[in-house]
Amino acid sequence: MNGGMTTAPLFSHSPPAVLQTVEKLRHFVKVARARGGRIALVPTMGALHDGHMELVRRGQKKAQAVIVSVFVNPAQFGPGEDYDAYPRAWDSDIEKLTAAGAQAVFAPSVSEMYPDGFTASVSIGGVAEPLEGERRPGHFNGVALVVTKMLLQTMPDVALFGEKDWQQLQVIRGVAADLNIPVEIEGVPTVRDENGLALSSRNAYLSPAQYHVAIRLNKILFSMAEKLRAGGSLQAALYGGHVEIAKAGFDSMDYLEIRDARTLRQASTKTEGLRILAAVRLGKARLIDNVGV
């Protein structure tokens, strides 16, 4: 130790600290802050894939300690949705986080997050209302609540969220701004597999045959963006996309829209700051994706 030529990084190459209570989380943050470190929070529902790992890597560029929360949040699942079936993969999650050098995992129980007598709710309108808001009533209230709680439990300098859940990212930005939560919200571009499929824990639901349909979704969205960039009209791009979706073999489509990227309002005449968003259903999976124009 003394006089050695090299020093190991403070945290890396050891498994992350596993914190199961808010008290332990806050103690960890206090110690990390006392060492002068900035804190990044990466909220997840576990079943980690390389999209999550990209959030961890981005967090490491912005902070000295990256805390990854793993919590399948019942408040954001509706009746009949896949709360019970949602993939859990604790051991492999810890392996991945160890390899990535995350400093801590916050893995609270449901009763730690929502103890007996809990009654609070947080919601926003506007950006939370269309698209997913219409198809998944209450979903964004559940997201707003758990993210508000986790931000206030952790008080990170920065919190990172994937652009794959584009509307969720705008909802979280809205909640943080409206409630004056003192944190930087960082969106991270979607990570895709070699066929362009947006990584998602729910991709585990896909059979090989369904996978070959699923990979059509990103290609259709990118092709729509290409047409718009080439000067095509919103109407033509949208019509073309609908035709392609119909031919691709999905079971059904929840929506395919070209919206203002920030407000998610209709964008009938705008040509800048647009986002193409889609949700389709395929077997047990509901796939969402989005691309910028």
Instruction: Please state, in angstroms and rounded to a whole number, the distance separating the CA atoms of residues 280 and 293.
Output: 20
Considering the complex, state which of residue 61 and residue 262 has its C-beta at the smaller distance from its own copies.
Answer: 262
Based on the residue annotation, tell me whether 139 is a catalytic residue of this protein.
no
Instruction: Please state, in angstroms and rounded to a whole number, the distance separating the CA atoms of residues 28 and 241.
Output: 48
**203: its two tokens:** 């991709």
User: How many CB atoms are closer than 10 A to CB 92?
Assistant: 11
Residue (of 47, 61, 276) closest to 186 by Cα position? 61
Which positions lie near its own copies, rule CB under 8 A? 22, 26, 117-128, 148-149, 152-153, 155, 174-175, 178-182
Sign of CA dihedral 147, 198, 244, 221: positive
Least CB distance from residue 37 to its own copies, whole Å? Answer: 18
Angle at 118 between CA 117 and CA 119, to 5 degrees: 110
Residue (of 174, 191, 180) closest to 127 by Cα position? 174
Strand partners, 105: 18, 68
Query: Which one is catalytic: 52, 139, 212, 242?
Result: 52
Amino acid, res. 127: V
Angle at 88 between CA 87 and CA 93, to 5 degrees: 120
Q: Is 235 exposed, middle or buried (0-12, 13-18, 19+ CB in 10 A)?
A: exposed
* CA distance between the termini of the chain: 54
Residues 6+ apart with CB under 8 A from 67: 19, 25, 28, 29, 39, 40, 41, 42, 102, 103, 104, 105, 106, 154, 156
Chain position carrying tokens 């300098």: 157
Catalytic residue set: 52
